[in-house]
Amino acid sequence: MNEEMIQKLVAEVCRQVMAAPAAKGSAPTSTPFSGAKEIADPMTMGGPSPRVQKKLAAFVNIQPEVCVERALLVTKAYQETEGLPVYVRRAHALETVLDNMTIFIGDDELIVGNQCSKPRSAPIFPEFSCEWIEPELDTMAHRDGDAFLISEENKAALRAIFPYWRGKTNNELATNLMPPECLEAMMAGVYTFGNYYYNGVGHISVDYRKVLEKGLNGIIAEAADAKAKLDVADAEDLRKCHFLSSVITSCKAVIRFAARFAAEAEKQAAACSNPVRKAELAEIARICRKVPAEPASSFHEACQSWWFIHLVIQIESNGHSVSPGRFDQYMYPHYAKDPSITVEKAQELVDLLFIKLTELNKIRDAESTKAFGGYPLFQNMIVGGVNRKGEDATNSISYICLQAAQNTKLYQPSLSVRIHENTPHLFYQKAAQTTRVGLGIPAYYNDRVIIPALLARGLAREDARDYCMIGCVEPQCGGKTEGWHDAAFFNLAKIVELTMNDGVCPACNKQLGPKTGHATSFTTFEQFKEAYTKQMEHFVRLLAIADNAVDLTHARNMPLPFLSCMVEDCIGRGKSVQEGGAIYNFTGPQGVGVANAGDSLTAVKKLVFEDKALTMEQLKKAIDANFEGPEGEAIRQMLLNRAPKYGNDVDYADLLARESAMIYCKEVDKYHNPRGGQFQPGLYPASANVPMGAAVMATPDGRKAHTPLADGVSPSGGLDQSGPTASALSVAKLDHAEASNGTLLNMKFHPNAVKDERGLENLIAVTETLFTHGGSHVQYNVVSKETLLDAQKNPEEYRGLVVRVAGYSAFFTALDSRIQNDIIARTEQVF
């Protein structure tokens, strides 16, 4: 497709989008949006209130610290419950923390509840892993990215408890279950499963609606009723009895936790001389006495109840990607029925929730930080889309959430929008307006691809329509799914390297994979592809073994009763989420380096076996030498310039990229997990494309050794030279339905490209081009290369600069310099 055809396509999509009628029941583009509380014009909604501005000004100056309170309290709780059932130990650990941790109510707060003794501090979870913490205590404050301050006193406190945990942590127990070759492949950079190996699973959206409508007392009653029906003379019922008791204990602890904030608010109110603030504190106290124990009956109550639930999930376990899910759908009824709420007051409350979400933090080991840079928690909140009946579900809260992103300009939550064929154009415009702010928010998801993909994976139609996004780009039905998304990152480029070297890893000079033949012995491209497939089979199998070992360990040692009580049908089945209590169970490892693998196969096929411009001996020699010297550089330029490249709407390259990814996906499909579910592949990296590239020597696509891999399903930086529409059309040729655990496309635009109304419509047109041709996701960075380079030189002047990294946004200056450079190197698109 030439440039003229591309421009015509963009113009036609723009015309169709502008001419499309509004969906039944949705707002036409020519009249104001109206709902329970009228929003006169979503495109000109109000900015942040003075209260929100004050909170934001304080937030950007907070330096993250390590908080040791939870670690000390959990250790005490475990010591008190030696020999008791694991459910009892987990519930007692949670109640010990909630009953004894420091709590506070900050100035001007309306939504209360803290994770640590200070905002943005990160707790330690020694029961999951701590062997990495001790050697990093003296370095974590000096990291290139994601630094955390820690006092000498707190270092000493942690060192005092570490001996208790030796041999008992989740990651040590998981290690004992897996064959050594699984760890060997991980250490060589073929894959990493460190996410759940060292941490909690997270990656879930619970049934927040259930708590808002029934309250925790309703859940306690449900668990008690299920428990009363058990016959504990039956061994399985005896186990269920312990689990259900742990649910009741955990929920009661959360109710007491809320009551502690009620008491603190009453204490502050008694000492407050400002009548306005005194009344606010009294209202906070009233609300915390009521929720989350009882159903919410106002929008403020719903916000506070929601926050307590979300907060405690983060305190119970250190899994990230605990996602709000379809916030606009379950919060809207409380907005609609509240006679006292105004648009402005609702906006302020949601703005404040966005700040609270960003106050949560997590500390990772130094290696994991390279894959998850920028203090991310991947809390994905999604708005728009269709409802369970298939009708447009856009409402007032959908717009309020988009405005909250504009008002706060923070990196949490990871705000997303669902797009379908009847999405109101006004909503599309509001999303594009938010994109133009330059936060990399929102991410866009395609109902037309994702819903059928979920149906193919076994979800009921209504559940598939009700999907939300988890973490980066992973779809699931909230409140019913344990998806185990981000189960691992798998290095597709490393498989190319092993294919070129007969299964030998050059860096460790060891026979890591099967012998599939020396590259110089291949006489046809089919032989090369067959060797690539055999290496893939071997290492995906090892990955599945490792993932299942970690999965089993979480089930045996780390059940999460509080989280589980809000996932169907854990109470009914008498099982935690970790044991298979959810309705839907998956395991989702991600392939990284789609463009590198695809372009490598393209170069080998085109230049070696078809055009015979190179011999395999010449190619192998140049790659082994990292393209050094005049001959090596000449070969590299040939690889870069004479072989077609994925990302330019050229079928030759695009279809080989699809095939290289599908070989991975089909292998992943073969495996099942201990919870009775299937493995499902995804194609996205978080920011793992940077450290994974560091583990790979030079590759046949012309990429030099140890440099980053292409991110997500995006083309390699600088090699997509035919414009944004061509890139979108190339990406759409991948099988996004097969990669049902999510695919990720990053695109970067210069701010001038979207500065006016025409720019917004062009952005919508590119999104529609991708979506109508079968793409599932896209997200945009709107920031100039010059700004990013200046931010590297003068970080103090850009402390609030937020950029899209991969499936999440982050403060640019908080990122490791290698991740910063990767973002800078991405192709900057214009129209």
* 743 in Cβ contact with 683 (< 8 Å): yes
Least confident window among 213-217, 310-314, 797-801: 797-801
Three-state secondary-structure class, residue 397:
helix
**Confidence check: pLDDT of 5 > 90:** no
Q: Which sign does the torsion angle of CA 148, 149, 155, 157 carry? A: negative
Task: Specify the pLDDT at position 784.
Answer: 87
Active site residue 251: no
Task: Specify the pLDDT at position 4.
Answer: 47
* 242 in Cβ contact with 293 (< 8 Å): no
Task: Specify the pLDDT at position 830.
Answer: 65
**Mean pLDDT of all residues in 109-121:** 96
Strands 678-679 and 802-804: unpaired
DSSP state, residue 445: E
Phi-psi region of 610 (alpha: psi -120 to 50; beta: other; left: phi over 0): alpha
- For the stretch 263-278, pLDDT in tens is 999 999 999 999 999 9
The whole-angstrom separation of Cα 342 and Cα 355 is 20
Catalytic: which of 303, 468, 472, 665? Answer: 472
**Confidence check: pLDDT of 2 > 60:** no
Three-state secondary-structure class, residue 680:
coil
Contacts of 218-222 with C-beta under 8 Å, sequence gap 24+, read 218/295, 219/247, 219/251, 219/565, 219/566, 219/571, 220/247, 220/248, 220/251, 220/252, 222/571
Could you tell me how many residues make up the chain?
A: 831
Pair of tokens at residue 736 = 């996004």
Three-state secondary-structure class, residue 229:
coil
Three-state secondary-structure class, residue 683:
strand
Beta-ladder partners of 445: 418, 777
Among 728, 823, 810, smallest CA distance to 776 is for: 728
Active site residue 474: yes
Task: Specify the pLDDT at position 32.
Answer: 38
* 318 in Cβ contact with 70 (< 8 Å): no
- For the stretch 294-322, pLDDT in tens is 999 999 999 999 999 999 999 999 999 99
- For the stretch 551-606, pLDDT in tens is 999 999 999 999 999 999 999 999 999 999 999 999 999 999 999 999 999 999 99
Tell me, rounded to whole angstroms, the distance of Cα 518 from its chain centroid: 39
Three-state secondary-structure class, residue 501:
strand
At 401, the amino acid letter reads: C
**Confidence check: pLDDT of 35 > 60:** no
Q: Which sign does the torsion angle of CA 722, 726, 728, 729 carry? A: negative
- For the stretch 55-95, pLDDT in tens is 999 998 899 999 999 999 999 999 999 999 999 999 999 99
- For the stretch 730-784, pLDDT in tens is 999 999 999 999 999 988 888 988 888 999 999 999 999 999 999 999 999 898 8
The whole-angstrom separation of Cα 608 and Cα 600 is 11
The whole-angstrom separation of Cα 222 and Cα 457 is 30
**Confidence check: pLDDT of 1 > 90:** no
Between the alpha carbon of residue 148 and those of residues 58, 62, 691, the distances in Å are 18, 11, 21
The whole-angstrom separation of Cα 40 and Cα 97 is 46
Task: Specify the pLDDT at position 831.
Answer: 61
SS3 of 38-75: the string is: CCCCHHHCCCCCHHHHHHHHHHCCCCCEEECHHHHHHH
Strands 191-192 and 485-491: antiparallel
Q: Omega into 413 within 30° of 0, i.e. cis?
A: yes
- For the stretch 155-177, pLDDT in tens is 999 999 999 999 999 999 999 99
Catalytic: which of 222, 280, 474, 738? Answer: 474
Pair of tokens at residue 482 = 């344990």
- For the stretch 253-265, pLDDT in tens is 999 999 999 999 9
